[in-house]
Amino acid sequence: TLDVSEFVASYGARNIFVWLELHIGGELISENLVLLSRPKHMSLSDPDIKVDVSETGDGFDVTLTAEHPALYTWFECEGGATFSDNFVDLQAGQSRTIYVTPAEKMDKKAFSESLTVQSLYDTYQ
């Protein structure tokens, strides 16, 4: 149980993100994000998501880094793709790498052009 009442009084519920991680033996087992207000009421800044793509095997490693928290970040790929993860939350300054296998074989340039990355912030625009 966490008492965050002091933080709510200081910053307001719309400005608080509680990031939870469970580590066992140094390995990340589970993670979660708790919001103290509805996502549509959060005071979100443009996360300014940076995308770095590198070829790996039959697919691509897509590394995301956000300047500000990026809630509910998701990928879309023209022509379809399989993602190792999708619909993720990004903390400010931390990187997250997702492995993507496009439905059709393509080079890095074509893949990068077909990839779209958005977050909850983009739905407000």
Averaged pLDDT for residues 24-52: 92
Residues 6+ apart with CB under 8 A from 29: 22, 23
Q: Are strands 50-56 and 59-65 parallel, antiparallel or unpaired?
A: antiparallel
Look at residues 109, 104, 116, 125 and name the one whose alpha carbon lies nearest to residue 75.
Answer: 116
Residue 43 confidence class, pLDDT cut points 50, 70, 90 = confident
Residues 6+ apart with CB under 8 A from 40: none
Percent of the chain topping pLDDT 70: 99
Which pair of tokens denotes residue 56? Answer: 């790996």
Averaged pLDDT for residues 23-29: 95
Q: What average pLDDT is seen over the chain?
A: 93
pTM: 0.85
Instruction: Inform me whether the pLDDT recorded for 125 exceeds 80.
Output: no
pLDDT digit string (tens) for 1-20? 889 999 999 999 999 999 99
Which pair of tokens denotes residue 43? Answer: 């005071």
Percent of the chain topping pLDDT 90: 84
Half-sphere CA count of 4, side-chain side, radius 13 A: 15
Instruction: Inform me whether the pLDDT recorded for 63 exceeds 90.
Output: yes
